[in-house]
Each structure stands twice: as structure tokens, then as C-alpha cells.
Structure 1
């Protein structure tokens, strides 16, 4: 019914959802906002089998919740670099995300992180802080599971230039 790619997307989405519970702190911060949604990422130059400096650009469409029954839409725009990115790993990505909430709040977040390839997907874990705007100074984690939008054989030819998947953002303040 889903095909091979659909099964991988379903498995990665399940793993991402489960990881959000595993990483939750035992005590709740004064405030916690959790945002989840679709993500689209481009790589320049495209990812190949040879590690190289790569620029990352992402757009996220989030649904965020802070209090039970309260949700707000948000968009995230991310730019960054991975010093030695390849189809096998995004080595130590450093990124800046600007999140705009539908209620008018904005946050600018700086991240560093790690990424690896598992079951054909890039599994990315970023940690950082809000450096400007809403919740300034707050600790942030971001987990993303991305699947290439092209065939895996593109790693050996022209390169993988984009990926889509699911992302989750947690702001603890």
C-alpha cells in the first residue's frame, strides 16, 4: 500500500515521535513549546559520496502547542553549513533558524548538532538557544528526519540536492 519509500517515511516518523518522549526532562521547565511538522531542505552543492562544505536551506511548517488545547501555526526558515556533508552524514551542522508564529511572535535560534544516515534517512539532532526575540535565552532542541527526494544512486552522480521529512522543535524557557 505505501511502497518502500512510504514504509521508510512511516518508520522515521514513528522514531521521531518516540524520540520526543525519550528526551523529555523529568521536570518541566517554566514554559515548554513543542512544534512539529513538515520540512523541506535543499543542499548546495548537492550531497555526494565525497564529504565537502555544504550550505543548507530549510523551510518548516509547524503546528505548535504550549498549554493543553492551545495550538498556533508557525513557519521556520533555516540557513546553515555542514563542514563535511555527504550522503552518509551531515558532519556537525551549524544553523540559524528564524521561527515566525502566527500570533506575531518571532524567535531566532542558533544550533549546532549531529546527523547520521539510518535506513536511508538523515536523522539530525540539533541543540541551541534562542538568541533573539520570543523566549530569548531559552534552550532549544530540534530533531529532523529527512528522506532524499531523488534516487540513492544520485549520490554517485550529480548529487542529492533536496530532502523532505518531519521535524520537531522544543523550546524550554
Structure 2
């Protein structure tokens, strides 16, 4: 059985950050409280996104098998795969970094890199913000921008796939 090397860089970074907080807390305790309050505000904002992403992990791992992912989002995924990536990116909620672990898991199960790029690219299109965009910039600007982002996400995805092929 092949042993898998585990990258511990993230844990080392976390330990360094905690150590810095402790040192700063000892040297300048008045500066640590605002920082911890800010941290708590962020945690409260992203808590539900964590829950949703965790639930998606459970659903994907329980109901969706790697063969299904490969079928719809794998190397032979056609227009349906691109549409799923674009729509998924548009309807996704929360900051994009919250989706990285899920996307990594999907990539591990065979999702095309280009589709992951399209998903992340289209994350910037938020249906809830479209009325505000229309208000400030008008219908034509909003429609053109949205369509260009969708089309460019496909082009960007294909470019990334080609670059990764060259890298191999």
C-alpha cells in the first residue's frame, strides 16, 4: 500500500499565528481584544457557510459516487458540465475560499480543472446583487457583463486545462 505524504504547512502556519497572538497579548494586551472581537465577527458571519459546505460534503460523499462525478463533470463532460459549473458558481453562497475544500474533493474524484475554474469565475455573479448592479450601471451593462463573465469562464477554464496539460 502506498503511503500518502501529509502536508503539515497549514498546521505550522496556525501554530505561528497562535504564538504571535499570545506574544502580542502578553506585550500589548489592549491590542488583542479588538482583534479577537473582529475574529469573532468573522466566525459568526461564516458559520452558516461552514455548515452548508459541510452538509454538501456529506451529501456528495454519501449520495454521489466518483463515477457520477466523472460522468457529469469529468474529462468527457460536455456542455452540461460547463452549464452545471456556471450555474453552481452563480448560486453558490459565501466566500470562494469556503468552497476550496469541496472543490478539491471533487477534483480528487475526477472533476475537470476547467469546470472548477468556471465555478470559481462565476462565483462573482450573485443573483441577489444583480438589482443593485442594474440600479447603478443599467440593464445593458449588467447583461453584457454577466454574459461576458460566463463565456470568459469557459475560455479561462480551457486555458487552465491546456496549461496544466503542458505542465505534465
Give the alignment's TM-score, normalised by structure 1.
0.27
Higher strand proportion, which one? Answer: 1
Which protein is richer in helix relative to its size? 2
Larger radius of gyration: 2
